[in-house]
C-alpha cells in the first residue's frame, strides 16, 4: 500500500510565520504562499500571517503556533544572505534546526521556507524569478503533508 499526500483542499487553519529582515525577498515569498493557498481552495480567512523580526525568531513563534493545536500546519518564511562574517552560519543553523524541531516536537507539519543564499541574486531567483517561488512551494508542501497525515490517520 502506497500512502502519499494529495493536493485537494485541506480542512483547518494555516499559519505563516514570516521574517521582516530582507522583507524585499520575504514579501514575495509570502505573496507566493498566499497565492498557493488560494489556488488550492484555502480561503484567505483560514490563513493567519505572523511577522517576526528575523529568521532567528521564526522557530519560537512557529513552535508556539504548532503547539496551540489551532493550525493544521505552520509555514516558515525568511531569507538569510551570507555576509562578511560567520553570522550567517549561526542564524541559518538556528533557523533550520529550530523549524525542524518545532515540527518534530509538536507533530504538526512545520514547513521550511527559509532561503539560505550566498548572494542576493540567488535569493531573487528563488522569490519569484528564475528558480520559482519557494513560498508558493512551501504552502503546497504544507497541503501535501496535512493530507498525508489525514490519510495515515496519525
Interface region with ligand INI, contact rule CB under 6 A, candidates 2-10, 19-27, 41-49, 99-107: 19-27
Task: Count other Cβ atoms within 10 Å, centred on residue 128.
Answer: 18
Interface region with ligand INI, contact rule CB under 6 A, candidates 65-73, 84-92, 102-110, 143-151: 84-92
- Which phi and psi (to 5°) does residue 111 adopt? -95, 135
Cα–Cα distance for residue pair 58/72, rounded to 1 Å: 18
86 binds ligand INI, rule: CB under 6 A: no
Q: Which residue is nearest to ligand INI (CB)?
A: 54
112 binds ligand INI, rule: CB under 6 A: no
Cα–Cα distance for residue pair 145/151, rounded to 1 Å: 10
Rg (CA), the chain: 15
Closest CB to ligand INI among residues 72, 111: 111
| In the complex, minimum distance from the CB of residue 116 to ligand INI, in angstroms, rounded to a whole number | 9
Rounded to whole angstroms, what are the CA distances from 54 to 16, 114, 135?
Answer: 14, 11, 16
76 binds ligand INI, rule: CB under 6 A: no
Based on the residue annotation, tell me whether 90 is a catalytic residue of this protein: no
- Of 6, 39, 41, 53, which lies in the binding site for ligand INI, with binding defined by CB under 6 A? 53
Within 8 A by CB and 6+ apart from 111, the residues are 73, 74, 75, 76, 99, 138, 139, 141, 142, 145
Closest CB to ligand INI among residues 114, 142: 114
Active site residues: 87
Amino acid at each position: 500500500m502506497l500512502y502519499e499526500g494529495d493536493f485537494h483542499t485541506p480542512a483547518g487553519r494555516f499559519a505563516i510565520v514570516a521574517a521582516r529582515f530582507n522583507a524585499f525577498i520575504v514579501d514575495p515569498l509570502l505573496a507566493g504562499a498566499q497565492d498557493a493557498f488560494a489556488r488550492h481552495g484555502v480561503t484567505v480567512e483560514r490563513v493567519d500571517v505572523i511577522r517576526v523580526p528575523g529568521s532567528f525568531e521564526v522557530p519560537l513563534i512557529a513552535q508556539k503556533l504548532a503547539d496551540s493545536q489551532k493550525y493544521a500546519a505552520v509555514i516558515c518564511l525568511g531569507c538569510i544572505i551570507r555576509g562578511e562574517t560567520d553570522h550567517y552560519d549561526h542564524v541559518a543553523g538556528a533557523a533550520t534546526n529550530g523549524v525542524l524541531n518545532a515540527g518534530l516536537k509538536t507533530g504538526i507539519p512545520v514547513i521550511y521556507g527559509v532561503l539560505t543564499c550566498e548572494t542576493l541574486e540567488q535569493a531573487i531567483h528563488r522569490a519569484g524569478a528564475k528558480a520559482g517561488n519557494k513560498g508558493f512551494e512551501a504552502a503546497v508542501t504544507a497541503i501535501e503533508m496535512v493530507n498525508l497525515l489525514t490519510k495515515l490517520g496519525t
